[in-house]
């Protein structure tokens, strides 16, 4: 009987070992707000709550002519519920910068049982020193930090904070003098 208990405890320990070894990483936004994400293969995992997953964040650069970047995002809404609007801010540096605030359409593509996927791109942002929407590119931080606010029809909101590893020093060096310097102007985000 005692051997059975020891064997059960050993098996239970092995079964729980991966969960016990799971690591989280803490991130600190430019405004001092802290959040944690699980590490998956050494990279930040996806931010997730009962109602949604911050599925992906990325951007494309356009270097033909005046350099610019276009942020793109994907969210999965769970439980058959979808927000009315999604607001995404860059919170990497001291002052949060609104990237986009968009209405969520009624006809979303499915993403599994009672799940739907919402993908969108923000308006193009000029890559320039002094431009609020691209200021994060010129720092030495290892991650770009996002805060998404999902706003529901009943007035409730849900926040998801995500970190993405972006090392932009090589890109900035390669672009060199093609990146203009300008006085900071108010940045408007895409809005529908």
Q: What is the pLDDT of residues 79-129, one digit of tens each?
A: 888 999 999 999 999 889 999 999 999 989 888 888 999 999 999 999 999
Distance, in Å, from the CA atom of 122 to the CA atom of 101, rounded to the nearest integer, reads: 8
Find which of 78-82, 150-154, 187-191 is predicted with most confidence, using mean pLDDT: 150-154
Portion of the chain with pLDDT greater than 70, in percent: 83
Distance, in Å, from the CA atom of 187 to the CA atom of 97, rounded to the nearest integer, reads: 8
pTM (two decimals): 0.81
Q: What is the pLDDT of residues 133-147, one digit of tens each?
A: 999 999 888 999 999
**For the stretch 7-42, what's the b/e string if a residue is b when 16 or more beta carbons lie within 10 angstroms of its beta carbon?**
eeeeeeeeeeeeeeeeeeeebebbeeeebebeeeee
Decide if 123 contacts 141 (C-beta within 8 A).
no
For residue 84 the two structure tokens come to 């009315």
């Amino acid at each position: 009987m005692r051997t059975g208990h020891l064997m059960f405890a050993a098996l239970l320990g092995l079964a729980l070992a991966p969960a016990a070894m799971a690591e989280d990483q803490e991130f600190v936004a430019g405004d001092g707000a802290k959040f944690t994400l699980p590490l998956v293969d050494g990279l930040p995992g996806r931010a997730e709550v009962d109602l949604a997953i911050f599925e992906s964040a990325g951007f494309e650069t356009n270097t033909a002519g005046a350099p610019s970047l276009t942020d793109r995002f994907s969210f999965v809404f769970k439980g058959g519920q979808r927000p009315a609007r999604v607001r995404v801010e860059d919170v990497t540096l001291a002052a949060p910068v609104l990237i986009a605030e968009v209405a969520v359409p009624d006809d979303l593509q499915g993403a599994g049982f009672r799940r739907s996927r919402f993908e969108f791109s923000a308006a193009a942002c000029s890559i320039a020193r002094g431009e609020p929407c691209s200021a994060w590119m010129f720092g030495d931080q290892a991650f770009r930090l996002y805060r998404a606010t999902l706003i529901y029809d009943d007035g409730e909101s849900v926040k998801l904070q995500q970190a993405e590893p972006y090392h932009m020093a090589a890109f900035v060096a390669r672009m060199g003098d093609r990146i203009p310097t300008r006085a900071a102007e108010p940045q408007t985000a895409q809005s529908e």
